[in-house]
Structure 1
Amino acid sequence: MKKLRDYEIGIAKLSNKQHLYEFELDDSFFDLFVKDIILGGNLVAQVELDKTESLLTFRMGIKGHVRLTCDRSLDEFDYPVDVQATFRVKYGEENAELDDDLWQITPNTQAINIAQHLYDYIGLAVPMKKLHPRFVADADEEDDNDQDILIYSSRNQATEGEDGEDDDDDEVDPRWDALRNLN
């Protein structure tokens, strides 16, 4: 059984250059997190760490598949994932998350655990509407049909002139005149 500690990268003793790491993300990795969206999976994460005096740049490439539950049929299915992500860590006076992809750590920090980052980037690759592959063609047809929806407009195109202005020659409903007089 893997532990969160298996995804720590010791940065204190690293030299200022590029370092490569590879992590296998299987069901034991996903067991470390709440299984509300991703049930499991089999992925490989390649992490490139570029360390300088003031900045750590993590470039992650995550490939494989995750196991999801279909929103329509509740069947489990494998969904392919291919993620490229970058986040940076800079040194400062306190530990803080400055932005989604920028963290600040103190200079005496010994290691950085990237497990949560890996899980978050995988979670962002999962679609909002999780459909089993057998339903994907049906969903595409539904999306095409949605383009045929009529939208109500109060402008009557037959009474518009060439310049887009309404022609006042046509008879107007007297209720509209009463409303215009309210101003």
Structure 2
Amino acid sequence: MKPLKEFTIPFVGLKEGKHHFDYEIKNEFFEYFEYEDFNSSDLKIDVDFVKKSTLLELHFEVTGTVNINCDVTNEPYDQEIENSFDLVVKFGEAFNDDYIDILILPHGEYEVNIQQYIYELIVLSLPLKRIHPGVEDGTLDSDILNKLEELSPKVKDIKKDQEESDPRWNTLKKLLTDK
């Protein structure tokens, strides 16, 4: 997969100190990664880049919304996203990205590509279970919710089943209480 040019930071020409990069993320970015869970996205990425003599420090912050489908009703809704991530780039003998927040680049490298870190930051910012806010507060009227309510077991039905147990078990139940 060829890296996207706009997410490559050539740090050789930068002076030591703090630099700032802004990125606007739309669905085209996720199409590159073949990630199709978002109906639409409107995200802003702020990257604070600190160049030091022996290493680079990057601080990512993502804010915005993505339009996704609810796991319960499959209704689309806007999910707010807000998250941050810190990355340290060191220099060594060979490329190594085994660690979560440390990237080792070989000596002589002159640029760093951050597209994978941005992608992971956004995708991992989503909740595990995506529930439409209308489902949580009861304001969403959906055919799926009505069908789920219709098919769910009723509390009084459960109590009836417990009361109508087989009388042969009554003697064994006494053993539980006779200690």
TM-score (norm 2): 0.71
Give the secondary structure class of the aligned counterpart of 2:97.
strand
Return the structure number with greater helix share: 2
Give the greater-gyration-radius structure (CA).
1
SS in 2 for 1:60: strand
CA distance in 2, matches of 1:98, 1:35: 23
Tell me, in whole angstroms, the C-alpha distance in 1 between the residues paired with 2:48 and 2:87: 11
Shift of 1:19: 0.7
**Aligned partner letter, 1:123:** V
Cα drift, residue 56 of structure 1: 0.8
- Cα drift, residue 118 of structure 1: 0.7
Are the equivalent residues in 2 in contact too, given 1:30–1:39 (CA < 8 A)?
Answer: no
Partners of 1:88 and 1:54 in 2: CA distance:
11
- 1:86 to 1:119, Cα distance in 2 relative to 1, 3 A: same
Equivalent position of 1:4 in the other structure: 4
Does 2:73 match 1:73?
A: yes
CA distance in 2, matches of 1:69, 1:22: 28
8 Å CA contact 2:92–2:105 kept in 1: the answer is yes
> One-letter code of the match for 2:90?
K
Deviation of 1:83 (Å): 1.1
Report matched runs for 1:24-35 at 5 Å. Answer: 24-35=24-35
Deviation at 1:68, TM superposition (A): 1.5
Residue of structure 1 equivalent to 2:175? none
Separation in structure 1 between the aligned mates of residue 120 and residue 77 of structure 2, nearest angstrom: 20
Alpha carbons of structure 1 residues 39 and 89: separation in structure 2 relative to 1, 3 Å: farther
How many residues of Structure 1 are paired with residues of Structure 2 in the alignment? 139
Residue matched to 2:105: 105
Normalised to the residue count of structure 1, the TM-score between the two structures is 0.70
Structure 2 counterparts to residues 14-163 of structure 1, below 5 A: 14-137=14-137
Matched residue type, 1:118: I
Q: Which runs of 5+ in 1 are unaligned?
A: 139-170, 173-183
Q: Which amino acid aligns with 1:11?
A: F
8 A contact 1:38–1:123 mirrored in 2: no
Quote the offset at 1:37 in angstroms: 3.5
Identity %: 24
**Gaps spanning 5+ residues in structure 2: where?**
139-177
C-alpha contact 2:30 2:36 (8 A) present in aligned 1: no
- Find the aligned partners of 1:96 and 1:38 in 2 and give their Cα distance: 31
Asked if 1 retains the 8 angstrom alpha-carbon contact of 2:21 and 2:48, the reply is: yes
**Cα distance in structure 2, aligned partners of 1:68 and 1:48:** 28
